[in-house]
Chains A and B, each alone.
Chain A
Amino acid sequence: MSAEKKPATWPQDIYESFKKLGIRQVAYVPDAGHTHLIKSCHADKTMQAVSLTTEEEGVAMLAGSWLGGDRGALLMQSSGAGNCINMLGIIQECRFPLLTLVTMRGEWGEFNPWQLPMGQSTADILGRAGCVVQHVDEASRVGETVFAAGQMAFSTGRAAAVLIGQRVIGFKDWSK
């Protein structure tokens, strides 16, 4: 059963944090949790929203965006975190800022066993690859956490990953 009955406001809160941060490029591999946010970014004339074939492309793309003076953000599901590891080496060596938002699977009420290996190791893997990892499990705190992570990433030249808990997104009821 879903944790949220009313339409969730946290996707809009993220979008508003993006506007405050001055995000101009949004790279993504779609995730159901980011449906609303992806739509908002595509509709925003000041943003370039780019659909990727794999998450690592987004890490490289946002290195390029920073070289050109644009701030960006990368959206992915936890299953994509592992795809990024080698590219995160560029971020670390060059001190590129990177803001990434990871919607979690394999974490809370998961029904699909195949999601657990990546979901259970996302924080460790990203941390070992040089990302500051911030986990948020309360819908009301998602927007401010994204803003804080973005400010840190862009001001200090570091990678910051916000893991948005499966509890926030809501899990599929597989009991019937």
Chain B
Amino acid sequence: MKKRIKSTLDRRVALGAILAKRGDALLVTGLGSTCYDAGTLDHPNTFYLWGGMGAAAMVGLGLALAQPKRRVIVATGDGEMLMAMGAFATIGAKGPRNLSIVVMDNELYSETGMQPTHTAHGVDLAGIAKASGFARSGTVHNLKQLTAWVPSLYKTPGPVFLAAKVTSQRYPMSIRYRDGTAIKNRFREALLGFSKAYD
């Protein structure tokens, strides 16, 4: 097992640094803390998943295939991504050039009592992405490394995978916007226009 590097990265600082460069990119969040984090930086091009653990990466794939000219970013947690191990292989095999996945990896199930996830025991999500055929993958532990990585999330031909190791800092659930149909409709209106959204 590799020697562990302690993270100094705060999850909300990290997501803020990534989303500051989002431009017209489309964002899908996984359930839990990443959803709440993104809620503090709400945007009509964000689709929030509040359930369906393990769905985020594959929602991102469908969206990326439908919108090949837009960058699609999936931001999710390590627990959520561990439930989608098959999705690494499916996405690696399909090879969407406009899809990037960022895992905010605190090595904990923070919603359910801070139990360690497999990444706390050395499971290397970036290594899994690489072995699954992702075009680029990596792991960062501090803001400097993350900042250097951010342009790649938007510009490197995908699929791209980044594990952002973050601290165990928890924040309040600062988003009240949780009606799935409303979230879906807002996203489609912003992306497709009103008449196509309800065609």
Contacts and interface: CB of A to CB of B under 8 A. Distances in A.
Interface stretch (A9-17, A37-45, A86-94, A163-171): A86-94
B184 interface: yes
Interface in B158-199: 180-181, 183-184, 187-188, 191-192, 196
A116 interface: no
Contact of A64 (B51, B59, B93): B59
Interface stretch (A51-59, A99-107, A123-131, A139-147): A51-59
Interface residues of A, number: 34
A89 B66 contact: no
A22 to B, nearest CB: 10
A48 to B, nearest CB: 5
A68 B67 contact: yes
Contacts of A27: 62
Contacts, number: 114
Given A64-B61, A72-B62, A94-B183, A56 B47 contact: no
B32 interface: no
B43 interface: no
Most buried by A among B49, B90, B191: B90
A64 B58 contact: yes
A75 interface: no
Interface of B: 26, 28, 47, 49-67, 84, 86-87, 89-90, 93-94, 180-181, 183-184, 187-188, 191-192, 196
Interface of A: 24-25, 27, 48, 50-54, 56-70, 72, 86-87, 89-90, 93-96, 157
